[in-house]
Amino acid sequence: MTKAQFQVFSSPELVAQAVASHIAEVVRARPQTVLGLATGKTFVSIYEALVRVGEETGLSFAEASSFNLDEYVGLPVGHPASFRRYMEEHFFRHVDLPADRALLPEAGDDAEAACRAYEAAIAARGGVDVQLLGIGRNGHIGFNEPGSAFDGRTQVARLTPSTIAANTSDFPPGELPPPEAITMGIGTILDAHAVVLVATGAAKAEALARAFLAPMDVDCPASALQQHAHVTVFCDEAAFAGMGPRA
């Protein structure tokens, strides 16, 4: 039985505002917060709302740090579909988070060493305080695809055909996503003190229900979150539809 708390809203816009307000409160209460950040279409409106709430309330990220969940392997610097570029465009360039504390995994010449270094960098900051997560239609979190070990650490992962298909629209016409990415492992994600999972739209309903209603199963990576004591799911009614009638 999951301990996750659900916050259900009537539209994706209201979800975005609620998540943004929550993150803003966390950073206001503890300016040195270590954020775990996510990408994906779901998060575009969340960063937009967070930037807005930050501007309106004079929120500073100057003492915060961030670690993104994942990044493709092998994209040239500045590639329009890289998660680095996404983060710059939607968040980093709009806030005062110092560039040297806004990290994404970078494969470099030695991807295995880069994975170990990423884990060490997270540990050196005292761990992630709040990890933001989206969810893939197949239940993936970060790029931890079905079958990933629940105790996995930051690693190079192979993307499934369904994830490649889902993410192809982020790439220029005629270009496919790379077959590999570096992702925090499920164990890395579970180490975060709190997790905020966001799901909007009917296409996420089945994955959300599998993650939180069915028994934990490596075939649904997000179901690992059932063992975490501090998970809040922010979702719209369409994504919540598979969870049964609302109390």
Residue 53's SS3 state is: helix
140 is catalytic: yes
148 in contact with ligand GLP (CB under 6 A): no
In the set 145, 167, 191, 236, the catalytic residue is 145
Shortest separation between residue 142's beta carbon and ligand GLP, angstroms: 5
- Report, in Å, the least distance between residue 136 CB and ligand GLP: 5
Using the CB atoms, write b or e for 202-229: b if 16+ within 10 Å.
eebbbbbbbbbeeebeeebbbbbbbebe
The closest residue (CB) to ligand GLP is: 134
Q: Please check whether residue 140 is in contact with residue 163, taking contact to mean a CB–CB distance below 8 angstroms.
A: yes
119 is catalytic: no
109 is known as an active-site residue: no
Binding mask of the shown chain, residues 24 to 53, with x at each position contacting ligand GLP by CB under 6 A: --------------xxxxx-----------
The residue within the footprint of ligand GLP, chosen from 17, 167, 223, 226 (CB under 6 A), is 167
DSSP one-letter string for 79-117: -TTSHHHHHHHHTGGGS---GGGEE----TT-HHHHHHH
- In angstroms, the CA 201 to CA 216 distance is 23
**Whether residue 175 lies in the annotated active site:** no
Q: Does 69 bind ligand GLP (CB under 6 A)?
A: yes
Between 33 and 39, name the residue whose CB sits nearer to ligand GLP: 39
Q: Give 221's DSSP letter.
A: G
d(CA 145, CA 174): 24
Query: What are the residues binding ligand GLP (CB under 6 A)?
Result: 38-42, 69-70, 134-136, 142-143, 163, 167
